[in-house]
Amino acid sequence: MKKKQVYVYKAFERFWHWMQAILIFFLAFSGFEIHGSYTFFGFRDAVKYHNIAAYMLIILIVFAIFWHFATGEWRQYVPSFRNIAAQLNYYIFGIFKNAPHPTRKTVLSKLNPLQKLTYFGLKILVIPVIVTSGLLYMLYRYPQKYGIESLNIESLEVIAIIHTIAAFLLVAFIIAHLYLITTGEKVTTNLKAMLTGYEELEEHHDEGEVTSSEKSE
Ligand code: HEM
């Protein structure tokens, strides 16, 4: 099948992806210091930096939500159970036998069914939980000092446990994500695509597809 360079990831999408990656790495690193796993910045500074990065992440999330709805890209993340078994089968067996990817990547459908499900879960569950519990953690600590009476929250413990579970889930996601980005056509194919926006895809005739030569952005 003929291949051609296709513009898959737009400029904002790449900016959002890499900013989010840096901020989440930093939040995990400072967060686990706050948790007591090691000492690097010192507890006080770790909390200060964790808060700054958290505000930056919240601002980024607001822009990203706007971008996804304004461009209609949110549709990419609507999960579908079609081909999910084939995709799982590919990652567990096919990939080690050089089998072809079970789903085809196009500009209008750039996520495979497992990615759709995972990213959807992150967007509607893990990220909201980590942001909400993080904000409650801040509200508990700073303005009132003790408890959030209006919400009947008298102890930090539950919030801390929920925030930490979500942090572990995000770290687990990052580990899986780092492995899976190496499973493209070549080890660096997916990484290059998220850096440059372009990826070599099989030629097809999806409506609305923008190729490198047609790209005007
Ligand atoms: C907008 C998002 C976030 C907010 C508002 C937030 C806020 C906070 C706050 C206020 C604390 C407590 C600091 C203190 O003790 O004074 C904390 C702790 C922590 N954060 Fe975050 N955080 C966010 C995102 C993250 C992310 C993305 C991760 C990791 C992937 C993370 C991991 C942790 C961990 C592990 C702790 C220590 C929990 C404990 O042992 O009590 N946080 N966070």
Task: Output the residue whose Cα is nearest ligand 1's atom 12.
Answer: 137
Domain tally, the chain: 1
What integer best gives the mean pLDDT of the chain?
87
* Domain presence at residue 141: yes
∠ CA 182-183-187, rounded to 5°: 45
Across the range 195-209, mean pLDDT stands at 72
Q: Is the pLDDT at 124 greater than 90, yes or no?
A: yes
User: Is there an atom of ligand 1 within 6 Å of 8 CB?
Assistant: no
Instruction: Tell whether 55 is covered by a domain.
Output: yes
Q: Ligand 1: distance of its center to the CA of 189 in Å? A: 33
Q: Give the CATH number, domain containing residue 78.
A: 1.20.950
Residue 138 has pLDDT above 70, yes or no: yes
Q: What is the pTM of this model?
A: 0.87
Q: Is residue 82 part of a domain?
A: yes
Q: Determine if ligand 1 sits within 6 Å of the CB of residue 163.
A: yes
Distance, CA 141 to ligand 1 centroid (Å)?
12
> How far apart are alpha carbons 54 and 192 in whole angstroms?
28
Please give the angle made by the CA atoms of 48, 54 and 55, to the nearest 5 degrees. 95
Examine residue 210 and state whether it is found in any structural domain, yes or no: no
Residue span of the structural domain in which 71 resides: 22-96+114-184
Torsions phi, psi for 104 (to 5 deg): -95, 135
What pLDDT digit, counting tens, does each position of 81-113 carry?
888 888 888 888 898 988 888 888 888 888 998
Answer yes or no: is pLDDT of 144 > 90. Answer: no
pLDDT band at residue 216, thresholds of 50, 70 and 90? very low
